[in-house]
Amino acid sequence: MHPWRASSSGDDREGRSRLGFRTGIGFDAHRFAEGRRLVLGGVGIDHPLGLAGHSDADVLCHAIADALLGAAGLEDIGHYFPDSDPRWQDADSTLLLAEAARLAGEAGCRVANVDAVVVAEEPKIAPHREAMRARLAEAIGVPVSSVSVRGTTTEGMGFTGRGEGIAAMAVTLLECGGAGPDKP
Number of independent structural domains in the chain: 1
SS3 152: strand
* Amino acid 3: pLDDT: 43
pLDDT mean values, one per 10 residues, the chain (184 residues): 45 60 97 97 97 96 98 94 89 96 96 98 96 98 98 96 97 81 44
Give, in order, the Cα–Cα distances in Å from 2 to each of 6, 7, 28: 8, 9, 36
Give the Cα-Cα-Cα angle 95, 98, 104 (nearest 5 degrees): 145
| Spatial CB neighbours of 127, under 8 Å, sequence gap ≥ 6 | none
Residue 184 lies in a domain: no
Residue 102: per-residue pLDDT: 98
Residue type, 32: F
The answer as to whether 160 is a domain residue is yes
The domain of 171 spans: 20-176
Q: Is residue 166 assigned to a domain?
A: yes
In a domain, 4, yes or no: no
C-beta of residue 133 within 8 angstroms of C-beta of residue 148? yes
Local structure of residue 28 (DSSP, 8 states): E
Whole-prediction pTM value? 0.87
Taking the CB of residue 54, how many other CB atoms lie within 10 A of it? Answer: 15
* Residue 6: inside a domain: no
- What CATH number did the domain enclosing 53 receive? 3.30.1330.50
Give pLDDT, residue 57.
Answer: 96
- Cα–Cα distance measured from residue 177 to residue 183, given in angstroms and rounded to the nearest whole number: 10
Q: What is the CA radius of gyration of the chain?
A: 17
Distance (Å, rounded) from C-alpha 78 to C-alpha 83?
7
